[in-house]
Amino acid sequence: MKLTIDPSAHDQRLDRFFRKRFPGISRNEIFRLLRTRPVRRDGKRLKPNDRIYTGDVLDFDWPDSIDTAASPLQKVNGQLTLIAQSDDYLVVYKPIGLKTIPDRAGEMSLSLLVQSAFVSEQTATFRMSPVSRLDRNTSGVVLFGRTYAGLKKYNQLMRRGQIRKYYLAIIFGTIKEEATYEIQMEKDRKKNKVEVGRGQWTRTRIKPIVTNGTKTLIEVELLTGHAHQIRALMSHLGHPIEGDPKYGRGGSFQWLAAHRLEFDGHQIYYLSSEFRDRIKEEFNYVAGENHPNTCQQFSI
């Protein structure tokens, strides 16, 4: 069997590429085959940790009984809002109620919508994937790697803290001054809820924008990434987010939105019409001119 490496698999370890390309083969079986039936490039035997590159032709002889089928692409129907794009990234909008990635096969998610909208750009070893996630009940902008190289690049920037994420939230009570909070958080996976005061240290910057005396519109910058970080922090401070069913006073529409991303010299803004209308009604406040009024809509 021969496989030619395309750009979607450029600069990967051989073993990781084969685990993606042959999802029906277990990890242990992959390693056994690489050891007993070696893969060759230009006649030279490759080790599992050798890297492969665009244009490489891999030559190997594996038993016919081995499942060499590629993982099928799951296609879904829905509406996708595209905010910005380049050759190596996409920024899309995630509405409330939609998961960023599926927890189980067949479940609708933002990732599947993106992959279905750009089906021609998916390959046997690459699926467009998010660089970070939003909670199911949080809306806003999500950055996707459009290519393997792009995904690798932006994941590295995320790990280095070079992708800045900003949120808008409506909270109960009044906050008057900007402040940065450093608080420990630990997620109880059985309860799917964060406990404050132990676990990983988190850092969050809070900036008040406008208040009506009983509620405040704030901008939040995540300086670390932790599940439910903003929601748990605001509840801990005595200023829960309006509509938060888990950390607030109940509700079905959580007024928390990721409205701004800064990365690699780009500043990208988006705020849904529902959120715009609510802050106009509640605070007589109009979102800044950087927020676009229209975006490209995909019906999939």
Q: What is the pLDDT of residues 115-146, one digit of tens each?
A: 999 999 999 889 999 999 998 999 999 999 99
**Residue 203: Cβ-neighbour burial (10 angstroms; 0-12, 13-18, 19+):** middle
Instruction: For 36-84, write each residue's pLDDT tens digit.
Output: 988 999 999 999 999 999 999 999 998 888 887 877 888 888 999 999 9
Token couple for 83 = 């905010």
Phi (first) and psi of residue 210, to 5 degrees: -155, 150
Under 8 Å between Cβ of 300 and 81:
no
DSSP 3-state of 276: helix
Instruction: For 182-214, write each residue's pLDDT tens digit.
Output: 999 999 888 889 999 999 999 999 999 999 999
- Per DSSP (E only), the strands in the chain are 2-4, 12-13, 40-41, 44-45, 51-52, 57-59, 79-85, 89-94, 129-130, 139-145, 163-172, 179-188, 193-196, 200-211, 215-222, 256-263, 266-269, 296-299
What domains sit in the chain, N to C, each tagged with a CATH number?
2-59 (3.10.290.10), 79-299 (3.30.2350.10)
DSSP 3-state of 279: helix
Q: Is the pTM of this model over 0.75?
A: yes
* Residues known to be catalytic: 135
Under 8 Å between Cβ of 117 and 104:
no
